[in-house]
């Protein structure tokens, strides 16, 4: 089998290819040495059985030389097996790393497509270990040896380890699964057509396990399948071998969890914290030996209602980001440094919305994470602080707030966010005091609300130098009227920050409305800025009445309004002049 061309730039794979090439050469040398030894042994046997030396020709091997050569071969086989074991350990470590990258891919990381390269190494190793076992058997036929027996047991153990380790979940199911919803998954065995197992087309089955059941399966010698945690339908598939790409796999297309048994919860653990896993297993008979293969999926959380999904994703996001390669199912640290959590959140946000967070965004999120109720800071963030505890001064958790904005952006603001038109996560004080005061009138800034879940708001500087922030718009608002339409409706909004481009150049002109039936008068939904709650006395107190000739100005309401506007520039279009009562 030729090594596949890879574009992942993996130095580890390149190193393994080189070592496998050398192991192949070394095994060929051992094969030739064994053939020579077998020939010498046959010559010695012929002599022992009475054949004439002259009829055989050449040098007659002595018993001492045969014993010496056999010991050399046994030593060489031991060396080859050690080298094989070292390469196999590297391959299995690389496969575990690939499986950890699967978890990170659940948060948005790019999964390096090097599984075919890993399979090439696995298939080559399978060929080499099979050769070593054959070599040992050939030598044993010429006389039992305790060292050979030990080498054989070790070789068979390594072969079994390779068989079991390469049975993997290639395509993970969704990690938040709604009860009775159908979902897919793919199992792959990276041995290809080696050992001829593919000819039997083995059946693969799927069951759901709780975290406790999964832990027991990894630590105890349980029967397969063990006690399960619910009922899974569509849970049987046949492994097929594709000779074109050498994939030996089984595809499940209609998996569904019909029932789930909840464990007894203790302490703060709730339904959405409860991790399960899907177990894929098979019993395969090969050469009169029964292999019970099994593998887990990444942890999943089962829900029965959409309202449970946000908190479930908190559990999964944390687990994907901070789990280690070798762990008991599904232990994960309860506390991480804020910088690591910010990396995970940035990855998740980019994956969901299409654009990463800015340095300024991340700094604002850092402030939200590290400040506690009493005003102190803590650089290490616990899982509880992340998604269970309410944020200081707020009626919701950090994750509820962050998830709500991520969902709003994905569903209603994705293009504007990807185009850089939305500043997003930014401190309100910085907006009001550090940015807009230094911009021209009509400049506006789009920021995510930090006082309401899933809200976006507009801060702007009007034509009278006032700086204001509109009440947040949520998903329900944007379903009624899009963000672009709302912005176009407000004439005070002229320049988009930070692009510093004209509003209409960024959001386009108002679309032409389609006319309806001719016998109806059409109506439109428009946004306007509501009157400000300023009292009449407050407005009148700001006016220098001594400079006004009321007799002259009281000729018309319009002249009064114009005069007051001229004398008090703090009034703007958001303040109704009718409040004067004049």
Mean pLDDT in each 10-residue stretch from start to end of the chain (582 residues)? 50 92 97 94 74 55 88 96 97 96 96 94 98 96 92 97 97 97 98 94 96 92 85 97 97 97 66 95 88 96 95 98 94 98 98 98 97 88 96 96 98 97 96 97 97 97 95 97 96 96 90 66 83 56 57 53 50 41 36
Q: Is residue 31 part of a domain?
A: yes
Instruction: Tell me the C-alpha distance between 570 and 568, whole Å.
Output: 5
CA max distance for the chain: 148
Report whether 210 contacts 141 (CB < 8 A). Answer: no
Shared domain check, 187 and 288: yes
Strand partners, 336: 381
Confirm whether 514 is domain-assigned: no
- Given 308, 331, 365, the domain boundary residue is 308
Looking at the structure, do residues 272 and 193 belong to the same domain, yes or no? yes
In whole angstroms, what is the distance from residue 271 CA to residue 328 CA?
A: 20
Ordered alpha helix ranges (H), 409-493: 414-418, 428-429, 475-480, 483-489
Residue 434 lies in a domain: yes
Instruction: Supply the CATH number for residue 91's domain.
Output: 1.20.1050.20
**Beta strand 247-260 pairing with 230-233:** antiparallel
Residues 6+ apart with CB under 8 A from 198: 192, 239, 241, 248
Q: For position 295, which CATH number holds?
A: 2.60.40.630
The C-alpha R_g of the chain, in whole angstroms, comes to 36
Q: Are strands 240-242 and 230-233 parallel, antiparallel or unpaired?
A: unpaired
Strand-strand pairing, 501-502 and 495-497: antiparallel
Query: From residue 327, how far is each of 88, 476, 556 by CA, in Å?
Result: 20, 43, 82
Same domain, 399 and 499: yes
What is the CATH classification number for the domain harbouring 448? 3.30.505.10
Question: Where is the domain boundary, 487, 507, 527?
Answer: 507
- Residue 65 sits in the same domain as residue 142: yes
Please, are residues 468 and 436 in contact by the beta-carbon 8 Å criterion?
A: no
Same domain, 38 and 144: yes
Residue 324 belongs to a domain: no
Query: H or E stretch including 456?
Result: strand 456-461
Same domain, 51 and 161: yes
Place of tokens 């939200």: 368
Residue 180 contacts residue 140 (beta carbons within 8 Å) = no
Nearest residue to 386 via CA among 343, 341, 420: 341
As given in the structure block, the two tokens for residue 1 are 């089998």
Considering the domain architecture, whether residues 292 and 405 belong to the same structural domain is answered as: no
* Distant-in-sequence, close-in-space partners of 149: CB < 8 Å, separation ≥ 6: 140
Domain that holds residue 73: 11-165
- The pLDDT of residue 533: 58
Task: Please write down the HEC assignment for all residues of 82-141.
Answer: HHHHHHHHHHHHHHHHHHHHHHHHCCCCCCCCCHHHHHHHHHHHHHHHHHHHHHHHHHHC
Residues 462 and 471: beta-carbon distance below 8 Å: no
The verdict on residue 525 lying in a domain is no
In a domain, 558, yes or no: yes
Q: Please report whether residue 482 resides in a domain.
A: yes
- The total number of structural domains that make up the chain: 4
Per the CB < 8 A criterion, the answer to whether 256 and 235 are in contact is: no
* Whether residue 396 is found in the same domain as residue 270: no
Query: Is residue 424 located within the same domain as residue 362?
Result: yes
Q: Which two tokens stand for residue 343?
A: 């990396």
CA distance 119 to 13: 11
pLDDT at 562: 56
* Confidence at residue 565, expressed as pLDDT on a 0 to 100 scale: 52
User: Of 488, 507, 526, which residue is a domain's last?
Assistant: 507
Query: Is 87 inside a domain boundary?
Result: yes
Residues 351 and 490 in one domain: yes
Note whether 120 and 174 are same-domain residues: no
Phi first, then psi, for residue 317 (nearest 5°) are -60, -45
Residues 6+ apart with CB under 8 A from 572: 462, 463, 464, 466, 492
| 142 and 183 both lie in a single domain | no
């Amino acid at each position: 089998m030729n090594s596949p061309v890879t574009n992942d730039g993996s130095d580890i794979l390149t190193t393994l290819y080189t070592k496998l090439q050398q192991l192949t050469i070394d095994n060929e040398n051992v094969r030739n040495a064994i053939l020579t030894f077998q020939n010498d042994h046959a010559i010695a046997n012929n002599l022992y059985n009475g054949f004439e030396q002259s009829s055989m020709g050449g040098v007659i091997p002595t018993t001492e030389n045969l014993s010496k050569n056999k010991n050399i071969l046994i030593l060489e086989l031991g060396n080859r097996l050690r080298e094989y074991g070292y390469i196999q350990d590297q391959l299995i470590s690389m496969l575990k790393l690939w499986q950890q990258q699967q978890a990170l891919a659940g948060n948005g990381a790019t999964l390096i497509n090097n599984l075919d390269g890993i399979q090439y190494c696995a298939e080559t190793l399978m060929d080499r270990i099979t050769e070593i076992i054959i070599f040992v058997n050939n030598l044993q036929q010429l006389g039992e040896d305790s060292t050979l027996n030990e080498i054989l047991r070790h070789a068979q153990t390594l072969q079994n380890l390779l068989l079991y380790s390469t049975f993997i979940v290639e395509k993970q199911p969704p990690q938040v699964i709604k009860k009775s919803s159908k979902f897919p998954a793919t199992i792959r065995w990276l041995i290809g057509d080696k050992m001829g197992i593919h000819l039997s087309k083995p059946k693969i089955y799927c069951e759901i396990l709780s975290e406790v059941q999964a832990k027991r399966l990894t630590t105890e010698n349980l029967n397969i399948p063990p006690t399960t945690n619910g009922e899974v339908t569509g849970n049987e598939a046949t492994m097929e071998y594709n000779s074109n790409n050498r994939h030996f796999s089984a595809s499940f297309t209609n998996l569904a969890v019909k029932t789930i048994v909840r464990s007894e919860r203790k302490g703060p653990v709730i339904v959405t914290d409860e991790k399960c896993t899907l177990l894929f297993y098979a019993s395969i008979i090969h050469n009169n030996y029964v292999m019970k293969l099994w593998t887990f999926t990444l942890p999943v959380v089962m829900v029965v209602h959409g309202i449970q999904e946000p908190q479930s994703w908190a559990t999964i996001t944390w687990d994907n980001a901070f789990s280690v390669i070798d762990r008991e199912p599904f232990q994960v640290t309860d506390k991480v440094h804020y910088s690591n959590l910010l990396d995970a959140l940035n990855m998740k946000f980019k994956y969901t919305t299409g654009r990463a967070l800015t340095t300024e965004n991340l700094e604002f999120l850092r402030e939200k994470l590290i400040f506690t109720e009493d005003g102190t800071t803590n650089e290490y963030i616990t899982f509880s602080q992340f998604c269970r505890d309410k944020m200081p001064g707020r009626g919701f958790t950090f994750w509820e707030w962050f998830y709500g904005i991520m969902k709003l952006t994905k569903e209603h603001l994705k293009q504007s966010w990807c185009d850089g038109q939305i500043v997003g996560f930014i401190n309100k004080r910085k907006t009001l005091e550090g940015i807009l005061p230094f911009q021209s009138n009509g400049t506006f800034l789009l920021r995510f609300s930090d006082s309401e879940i899933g809200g976006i708001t507009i801060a702007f500087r009007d034509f009278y130098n006032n700086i204001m922030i509109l009440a947040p718009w949520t998903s329900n608002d944007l379903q009624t009227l899009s963000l672009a339409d709302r912005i176009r409706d407000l004439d005070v909004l002229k320049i988009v920050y930070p692009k510093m481009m004209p509003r209409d150049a960024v959001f386009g002109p108002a679309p032409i409305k389609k006319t309806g039936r001719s016998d109806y008068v059409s109506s439109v939904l428009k946004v306007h800025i509501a009157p400000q709650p300023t009292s009449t006395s407050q407005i009148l107190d700001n006016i220098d009445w001594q400079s006004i000739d009321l007799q002259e100005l009281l000729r018309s309401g319009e002249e009064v309004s114009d005069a007051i506007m001229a004398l008090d520039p703090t009034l703007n279009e958001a303040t109704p002049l009718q409040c004067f009562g004049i």
